[in-house]
Structure 1
Amino acid sequence: MRVISGAFRGRRLVAVAGNATRPTADKVKESMFNMLGPYFDGGEALDLYAGTGALGIEAVSRGMAHATLVDKAYPAIKVIQQNVALTRAEDQFTVLKAPVERALASLATAHQQFDLVMVDPPYAKQAALTQLQELVDLNLVKPGGLVMFETGMDVVYPAAIAGFTILRRQTYAVAQVLILKRNEA
Structure 2
Amino acid sequence: MRVVAGERKGMPLKAVTGSTTRPTTDKVKESIFNIIGPFFDGGIALDLFAGSGGLGIETLSRGAEKGIFIEKDGRAFQTLQENIKKCRYEDCTELFRTDATRAVKGLLKRDIQIDYLFLDPPYKKTEYYDLVEVLVANGKLSERAIIVCEHSTEVNLPKEYGSFTLAREETYGSTIISIYKNGI
Shift of 1:126: 2.3
- What secondary structure sits across from 2:168 in the alignment? strand
TM-score scaled by structure 2?
0.94
- The reply to whether residue 179 of structure 1 matches residue 163 of structure 2 is no
- What secondary structure sits across from 1:46 in the alignment? strand
| Equivalence map 1:56-67=2 (5 Å) | 56-67=56-67
Which residue number corresponds to residue 43 of structure 2? 43
The alpha-carbon distance between structure 1 residues 66 and 124, as it changes in their structure 2 partners (threshold 3 A), is same
Shift of 1:182: 2.7
Alpha-carbon distance between aligned partners in 2 of 1:137 and 1:94, rounded to the nearest angstrom: 23
In the TM superposition, what whole-angstrom CA distance separates every residue of 1:124-175 from its partner, at most 9, and x where no partner exists? 2123542221112332211221111010101113445541122211111010
Which residue number corresponds to residue 12 of structure 2? 12
Alpha-carbon distance between aligned partners in 1 of 2:114 and 2:161, rounded to the nearest angstrom: 19
Which residue number corresponds to residue 136 of structure 1? 136
Q: Which amino acid in structure 2 is aligned with residue 26 of structure 1?
A: D
In the TM superposition, what whole-angstrom CA distance separates every residue of 1:99-127 from its partner, at most 9, and x where no partner exists? 00110111111122201100011112123
How many residues end up aligned between the 2 structures? 184
- What secondary structure sits across from 1:33 in the alignment? helix
Conserved 8 A contact 2:119-2:129: no
| Equivalence map 1:72-111=2 (5 Å) | 72-111=72-111
The alpha-carbon distance between structure 1 residues 88 and 160, as it changes in their structure 2 partners (threshold 3 A), is closer
Alpha-carbon distance between aligned partners in 2 of 1:70 and 1:129, rounded to the nearest angstrom: 15
Conserved 8 A contact 1:141-1:182: no
RMSD: 1.5
Which residue number corresponds to residue 126 of structure 1? 126
Alpha-carbon distance between aligned partners in 2 of 1:47 and 1:170, rounded to the nearest angstrom: 20
Ranges of 4+ aligned residues in structure 1 off by more than 2 Å: 126-129, 157-162
TM-score scaled by structure 1?
0.94
After alignment, is 134-143 or 145-154 more displaced? 134-143
The alpha-carbon distance between structure 1 residues 83 and 28, as it changes in their structure 2 partners (threshold 3 A), is same
Give identity over the alignment, percent: 38
- What secondary structure sits across from 2:58 in the alignment? helix
After alignment, is 158-167 or 101-110 more displaced? 158-167
Alpha-carbon distance between aligned partners in 1 of 2:88 and 2:132, rounded to the nearest angstrom: 32
- What secondary structure sits across from 1:127 in the alignment? helix
Which residue number corresponds to residue 168 of structure 2? 168
Which residue number corresponds to residue 23 of structure 1? 23
- The reply to whether residue 150 of structure 1 matches residue 153 of structure 2 is no
